Amino acid sequence: MDKKAEFLIKHNLIDENNYTEQDISKFEFFKADELDSLGRELIENVGGISELPLNMQETPFNYEFFARDHIEDGSILLIDGVYVRNNEKYI
């Protein structure tokens, strides 16, 4: 069992006795250790600020607020210091 699966099982995000690799691949783990770097990683994942709707392309862009919005709406969880998103719920 890999570390990703162990983490997901430990935090009851997948069923230890009934999961597949597809279940694991639904989860995205972020390397960020604080909100600003999480916001930057999220923006990088979509192809940069230019890919956001025009009303979100503030100058300067507030990466911390962007990340906080994702956490507050429940699309990203902070579990044991790790930011995790269930892409199945996000879509």
Return the structure tokens found at 31. 């390397």
Q: Would the CA dihedral through 22, 24, 27, 33 be positive or negative?
A: negative
- Kind of pairing, strands 82-86 and 27-30? antiparallel
- How would residue 91 be classed by pLDDT, with cut points 50, 70 and 90? very low
91-to-10, 27, 61, 75, 82 alpha-carbon distances in Å: 24, 12, 24, 9, 21
Report if pTM > 0.75: yes
pLDDT in tens, 3-28: 999 999 999 999 999 999 999 999 99
Q: What digits encode the pLDDT tens for the residues 38-87?
A: 999 999 988 887 777 777 666 778 889 999 999 999 889 999 999 999 88
Dist CA 18 CA 29 (whole Å): 21
